[in-house]
Amino acid sequence: MRKILTRSALLGALAFVLAVGSAAADELLKPFVLASKGPGTVAEKVAAAKSALTAKGFTVVGTYSPYPNATILVVTDDELKSNAAQSEHGGFGAAQRVAVTKVKDEVQVSYTNPEYMADAYRMKGDLKDVAAKLAAALGKIEEFGAKGLTASQLRRYHYMIGMEYFTEPSVLAEYGSHDEALKAVEAGLAAGKGGVTKVYRIDVPGKPETVFGVAMKGQGDNKSMDDKYIMDQIDFKDIKSTAYLPYEMLVDGNKVYALYARFRIAIDFPDLSMMGAHSFMNIMQSPEAIRKALVQAAGGKEAKSSW
C-alpha cells in the first residue's frame, strides 16, 4: 500500500531541501589552496610540480622567482582559456598560479583556488573541474588566506566603501588597434619600462584579448610598487600567499587595462586589516605606484578610468 505523506512531513522535507540548498549557496571560498608542505628544496618541488601539472594537461606559460626561496609557476589549460573567452574581460582568469616557497625548514606548495578566482573575476564557469585537476596533480590539504567569502560576495566584492570593484580597473593606454596595443605592451615590457617586465602571455581564443603577467621591481622612491616590498609587508602568516604574484595587464581590443591594486591586492588578502602592523596602511602608496608603473609599461599617458 502506497504511503501517504502528511502535510507536516511534506513541509519538513521541503525545509530540509531548502536548508541543503542554502548551505551549498553559502559555501565559503578562500583564495589559496595548500597542496603540500615538508622537507625538500624549492628546485626539487618546482620540478615535481611542473611534471605533475603537465601530466594533468596544464601548460606552464611562465615562471617567476620574486625573491629568494620562492618560485611561482603560471599555468593554463583549454578549460581556463575557453572560460576566459566566454567571460567578459575573462583574460584576468585565464591562468592559475602555483607557488613553491621555503619557510624555515619546510617547503610549501600552494596554488590559487580556481573556484574563488572564477567568482572574484565574474567568470561564466565555476572552474570546479580545474580545481579538481589541480588537486589531483598537486594535492590539497586545506584552503587558506581568508576567513572565507561566498560566491555571491565575491561576485560583488570590494574591500570597503569608496574602493574599486572588478568592473573599475585602470585604463593604462589606448591604441588604434589590438595589434598596435599588443606591440606597444610587448615593447614596453621588453624594455623594462617602469620597472615592469614580462612573466607570461596568454592569448584568449576567439576574441581580441591577451593577458600578460608581469614582474615589478622598484627601488628608492619607487619601492612601493616592488613585488618583494609589498609581500614583505602583507604576506606575514605561517602559510605563505606567494601565489598572489604575478600581477596582470590585459589588452582587450585596443585598450590596455589593469585591475586597480585596491581590488587586486584585496581580493587575495581580503582579511588584511586597514590599520596596524602588516596592514594596508603599510602599503598605502602602492596602488598608485603600481598603476603608474603599469602605465609606463603600456606606453600610456597619465589617466585613470574604468571600462
The share of the chain scoring above pLDDT 70, in percent, equals 90
> In the chain, what are the domain boundaries?
28-298
Residue 231 has pLDDT above 60, yes or no: yes
Residues 50 and 44: their CA atoms lie apart, in Å, by 10
* pLDDT in the model for residue 222: 87
Backbone angles phi, psi at 45, to 5 degrees: -70, -35
Residue 4 has pLDDT above 80, yes or no: no
Domain 28-298 is in which class? alpha beta
Question: Contact 116/154 with Cβ under 8 angstroms?
Answer: yes
pLDDT digits (tens, 9 = 90+) for 279-307: 999 999 999 999 999 999 999 986 544 44
| Per-residue cell: 121 | 573575476
Q: Is 55 exposed, middle or buried (0-12, 13-18, 19+ CB in 10 A)?
A: exposed
* pLDDT in the model for residue 220: 83
| Per-residue cell: 170 | 585602470
Strand order in the sheet with 106-112: 59-67, 70-76, 96-103, 106-112, 32-38, 142-144
Question: Contact 92/121 with Cβ under 8 angstroms?
Answer: yes
Residue 204 has pLDDT above 80, yes or no: yes
Residue 3 has pLDDT above 50, yes or no: no
Residues 118 and 103: their CA atoms lie apart, in Å, by 29
The mean pLDDT value of the chain amounts to 92
Q: Is 256 helix (H, G, I), strand (E, B) or coil?
A: strand
Q: 6: pLDDT confidence band, cut at 50, 70 and 90?
A: low
Residue 141 has pLDDT above 90, yes or no: yes
pLDDT digits (tens, 9 = 90+) for 33-63: 999 999 999 999 999 999 999 999 999 999 9
The structure's pTM equals: 0.89
Residue 20 has pLDDT above 90, yes or no: no
Number of other CB atoms surrounding residue 193 within 10 Å: 18
Question: Contact 197/217 with Cβ under 8 angstroms?
Answer: yes
* pLDDT in the model for residue 2: 43
